A and B are shown apart, each in its own frame.
Chain A
């Protein structure tokens, strides 16, 4: 069954279509990656799905329900979580408290502080921040901030997790650890939707790939299929990755 169904999505900025008649579906348990050159509209698509931007056309359905007009926080409570490409830790809160915010107000919406703290500590340990619980976020390395971003998103108990370039800026070793971690997240029953530039990650993690260019869907298929598609090679792989 389709967990997320996007049909005919449109978003313009000053007349220019950043996302133009985009449609795709994500099935429960499946991992879909969105790839495309810079400025193809990938992050805008994420902003539309997570509710940070309003749509100019089209519909977004989550678990069969039309969420196109829902505010962002309501989508999160229904089970849509996301990370940001430019990591955004909450200043004034330490590592554990950052994650606690997600536990307290996400889809799990716990009202007990003690329970939320325990859950936050569990998640911190899961992503590998178990020994930095009370560290101020300003002192974290980039890799740790990425972990924190992931832990905070997981804390909201998502059914669908949007990951915006989680591998960017990581060393190869950190990248392998992250892929293993995402594998565990997926086997825990979370459906993943990725924006990714790192092709090896796309290959290793995703079952289907959507290629975007100029706001439109250029191609869709398995990694093997799209990497043979001449349109894709011309627009993307040929110039960037090959």
Chain B
């Protein structure tokens, strides 16, 4: 545990000084770093739900709800942007709690389908309430911190640290034993005294709140939100493909997976034969990862270390 925390402290220190290592001077790199932190938050939050053995297809939608929540709170009640972000996250928490209480009592597949349906319905809802949502046009918002991307980078970092803290706290507390038991066998988990539904609902709610926070950061960051962007399927897919590729049920997996795949995506987007083909690649990544690398890049690395002749005994 101590070694893990040291590594994370080093990683966070590196991320904190990154802008001063030249990133702040390059508009594109700074933009991309903001986006990366946002997606790392989303990926970490999705993995928290996966640890209980549940498939959430609603994390893209919670991101979208956060994105709309901040814009609506800002426009309708003219609260300061940071307060609007908090309101949006709170709204996501309440919605997730309601959805979780209804669906997490059932077998996993019902939850998965219900979250898929949930994700699908919001685009329609937002188009139906143009007075609130701006209809197809969406809502514009002034940029955070007067457009200072360096300041917003540290806000994104703060939100990421929250997600990382949740993920690590679960790993190094009794929650680790609770989620692993629930994932392995719900019947046994109940019989050793775990309130399985409560464990699942609590983590789903916390996780959706973080996904909502990531979304609440997004709108003031890019200054505009519309229903098609907010609730795009691509983001739901991203929220789960990153952790799967990096390594499920870990904190490092979602972070590494996001860095690897998001970089690849940036490259493919500007490479002619691919363009939007990265979505095909994502489908392929999921299938291949489930079949051949169930613990993702982390699992591969661990296996390599174990086989390495230089391995030192601990």
Which positions in A face B, CB cutoff 8 Å? 50-52, 71-74, 76-77, 81-82, 84, 88, 90-93, 97, 100-102, 104-107, 109, 111, 113, 116, 152, 155-156
Contact = CB atoms under 8 A, between A and B. Distances in A.
B192 to A, nearest CB: 5
Q: Tell which of A51, A74, A92, A105 has the most Cβ of chain B within 10 Å.
A: A105
Which 3 pairs of residues, A with B, have the shortest CB-CB distance? A76-B193, A105-B193, A90-B184
Given A104-B174, A111-B174, A71 B181 contact: no
15 contacts: A71-B190, A73-B195, A76-B192, A88-B185, A88-B188, A91-B185, A92-B249, A97-B177, A101-B177, A101-B189, A105-B178, A107-B193, A109-B193, A111-B174, A113-B173
Contacts, number: 76
Given A73-B191, A92-B249, 12 more contacts: A52-B187, A52-B190, A72-B190, A76-B190, A97-B180, A101-B192, A101-B194, A102-B192, A105-B181, A109-B193, A113-B174, A156-B192
A130 B190 CA distance: 26
Given A52-B187, A111-B174, A113-B173, A93 B180 contact: yes
A179 B164 CA distance: 48
Interface string B186-222: 0111111111100000000000000000000000000
A105 B184 contact: no
Contacts of B180: 90, 92-93, 97, 101
Q: How large is the interface on B (under 10, 10 to 19, 20 to 34, 35 or more residues)?
A: 20 to 34
A73 B184 contact: no
Interface of B: 173-174, 177-178, 180-181, 183-185, 187-196, 249
Contacts of B196: 73
Contacts of B174: 104-105, 111, 113, 116
Given A92-B180, A100-B177, A105 B192 contact: yes
A77 B193 CA distance: 6
Q: Tell which of B174, B183, B189, B195 has the most Cβ of chain A within 10 Å.
A: B174
A74 to B, nearest CB: 8
A103 to B, nearest CB: 9
A62 to B, nearest CB: 14
Contact of B192 (A52, A71, A106, A111): A106
Contacts of B181: 90, 93, 101, 105
A152 B191 CA distance: 10
A141 to B, nearest CB: 19
A71 B187 CA distance: 12
B184 A93 contact: yes
Q: Tell which of B181, B193, B195, B196 has the most Cβ of chain A within 10 Å.
A: B193
Contacts of A74: 195
B191 A72 contact: yes
Given A100-B177, A104-B174, A90 B190 contact: no
A153 to B, nearest CB: 8
